Amino acid sequence: MRKRILVTGGAGFIGSHLSERLLGEGNEVVCVDNFFTGSKENIGHLLSNPYFEVMRHDICFPLYLEVDEIYNLACPASPIHYQFDPVQTTKVNVSGSINMLGLAKRLGIKIFQASTSEVYGDPAEHPQRESYWGNVNPIGPRACYDEGKRCAETLFFDYFRQHGIQIKVLRIFNTYGPRMLPNDGRVVSNFIIQAINGEDITVYGDGSHTRSFCYVDDTVEAMIRMMGSPDGFTGPVNAGNPEEVTILSLARKIIGIAGSRSKVVFSQLPEDDPRRRKPDISLARKALGWNPGMKLDAGLERTIAYFRSRLAP
């Protein structure tokens, strides 16, 4: 049967790929986005599909729809955007989650929460397992996002315990790929834009801090599998690529793939920026049968090609 699926943040980077995938599987998709970081360009190729519907709406306000499932992705996810209006970022994570959980409760349906590796903060445990409670500064400049997402998880699990709502919580680690915003301040998009333009590549700190990068198609696959997991399996589940790379090695890799003459320059590390990030995905492998398939070099090639086409005159 064709499902009618609500995707909040459906015009965003990951949300647009998810919407495309759900449509490809024969579902009807209602894309809800306030277009703060979402883009009509991301979903322009979907507008001709009769089973795709777009609503401009901020989920901080109640939404009344009849749907069969909800994927809640609405929230700016890069520091430059979520710090632009930190109060609103907290609101979308708290009030927005309450509104979406209320809708799921009224309809008696499953709801998926796109959580984040940022719930672990600057981790004292490495790699990070789902059982780790994190090391987060609750009053720092990143807290609106980090603590906002942590509170969203609290709400999801309280609705599960108190109201029996079927919840699915996935903690998404750094994701990259086509449709990233060129001005979102994320490390992959920053480096690619600088490399394509032949500009100096800015590495914060000494470049020894690490991240683990997962290609967007692999992340979407984890989301689909999580939503399709047996009732009662709530998560949280880590979804990310456990291949850990230093930021300096990433910069050099992008310079090489892009054939750029850019040079690496160093700048001060932002406050509360995590030093290491690597997911333990044992649970995802066991419970979801999921493992990321895209190698970093191949994913970067696709992403660089996307940005070249977007920046072409």
pLDDT above 80 (res 230): yes
Among the residue ranges 12-16, 79-83, 108-112, 237-241, the one predicted with the least confidence is 79-83
**Total number of residues shown for the chain:** 313
Which candidate, 80, 73, 65, places its Cα nearest to that of 16? 73
Query: Alpha-carbon torsion 60, 17, 11, 204, what sign?
Result: positive
Q: Which of 197, 187, 176, 303 is nearest to 260 (CA)?
A: 197
Q: Is the pLDDT of residue 74 over 70?
A: yes
pLDDT computed for residue 268 by the predictor: 82
The mean pLDDT of 178-190, rounded to a whole number, is 90
- Tell me, yes or no, if 204 is annotated catalytic: no
Q: Is the pLDDT of residue 121 over 90?
A: yes
Strand partners, 148: none
User: What is the pLDDT confidence band of residue 81, given thresholds at 50, 70 and 90?
Assistant: confident
Domain that holds residue 103: 4-179+214-242+273-293
Does the structure show a pLDDT above 90 at 69?
A: yes
Q: Which of 251, 267, 264, 261 is nearest to 300 (CA)?
A: 251
Q: Residue 305: inside a domain, yes or no? A: no
- pLDDT for the residue numbered 272: 66
Cα-Cα-Cα-Cα dihedral of 140, 142, 145, 151, to 10°? -30
pLDDT at 270 over 80: no
Residue 259 lies inside a defined structural domain of this protein: no
**Active-site residue, from 82, 120, 145, 159:** 145
CATH code of 9's domain: 3.40.50.720
pLDDT at 78: 81
Q: Output the pLDDT for position 157.
A: 98
Asked whether residue 207 is assigned to any structural domain, the reply reads no
**pTM here?**
0.94
Residue 60 lies in a domain: yes
Give the mean pLDDT of 255-284. Answer: 89
Residue 76 has pLDDT above 70, yes or no: yes
Q: How many CB atoms lie within 10 A of CB 106?
A: 10
Quote the pLDDT of residue 166: 98
User: Average of pLDDT values for 229-249?
Assistant: 96
5 φ, ψ to 5°? -120, 130
In sequence order, which residues have a C-beta less than 8 Å from that of residue 22 and are 6 or more positions away? 5, 7, 29, 224
Query: What is the chain's percent helix, strand, coil content, to nearest 5?
Result: 40, 20, 40
- Assess whether pLDDT exceeds 80 at residue 45: yes
264: in domain: no
**Tokens encoding 160:** 């599960």
Instruction: Count how many Cα atoms sit within 13 Å of the Cα of residue 150 in the half-sphere of its side chain.
Output: 18
Q: Mean pLDDT, to the nearest integer, of 64-78?
A: 95
Beta bridge partners of 238: 171
206, part of any domain:
no
Percent of the chain with pLDDT over 90: 88
Number of domains in the chain: 1
pLDDT at 254 over 90: yes
Question: What integer pLDDT is reported at residue 155 of this predicted model?
Answer: 98
Q: Is 2 exposed, middle or buried (0-12, 13-18, 19+ CB in 10 A)?
A: exposed
Round to whole Å and give the CA distance between 238 and 259: 34
Residue 25 included in any domain: yes
Mean pLDDT, rounded, of the chain: 95
Instruction: Return the pLDDT at 293.
Output: 95
What would the mean pLDDT of 233-242 be, rounded to a whole number?
Answer: 97
How far, in Å, CA of 39 to CA of 203, rounded? Answer: 28
Q: Residue 235 corresponds to which tokens in the numbers above?
A: 């998560």
Residue 261 in any domain: the answer is no
The span from the CA of 140 to the CA of 269, in Å, is 14
Cβ–Cβ under 8 Å, residues 120 and 134: yes
Would the pLDDT of 175 be above 90? yes
